[in-house]
Amino acid sequence: MTIEFLEDAEVELTEAALWYETKEPGLGKRLRNEVARVISRIGEDPLLWREYPGGYRRVNCPVFPYYIAYFIRGDKILIAAVAHGHRRPEYWKSRLGN
């Protein structure tokens, strides 16, 4: 399966990494690396995490307060959101129609 980011999810990751980088040099890079590891794990076994109503799945990042929301469409894993776990819950759900 191939993994693709929806444009909004890519923007979220970039903005979050930039914000963390302003707080402490290198912290934004650590966030990006953590997200990359989570996405790699999703790619290895995308069905491992439970499917929610609407057909999406989500995986929490182990250190940062973010989760990766994704859905499977054919032979693609689409990353719908890199979302902060404590802000505006499920604001990104309208992206599921993409």
Give the domain CATH number at 76: 3.30.2310.20
Position 98 in a domain: no
CA angle 43, 46, 52 (to 5 degrees): 140
Residue 41: inside a domain = yes
d(CA 61, CA 82): 10
Domain hosting 58: range is 2-90
Largest CA distance in the chain: 40
pTM of the shown model: 0.89
Residue ranges of the chain with per-residue pLDDT less than 50: 98
Within-domain flag for 14: yes
Q: DSSP assignment, residue 54? A: T
Q: Can you tell me the distance from the alpha carbon of 66 to that of 14, in angstroms, rounded to the nearest whole number? A: 13
Predicted confidence at residue 97, as pLDDT, reads 61
Distance between CA atoms of 98 and 31, rounded to whole angstroms?
A: 26
Q: How many domains does the chain have?
A: 1
Amino acid 33: pLDDT:
98
Whether 97 maps to a domain, the answer reads: no
> Does residue 96 fall inside a structural domain?
no
Let me know if residue 85 belongs to a domain: yes
Q: Is 53 among the domain residues?
A: yes
In a domain? residue 95: no
Q: Is the Cα torsion angle 98, 96, 78, 68 positive or negative in sign? A: positive
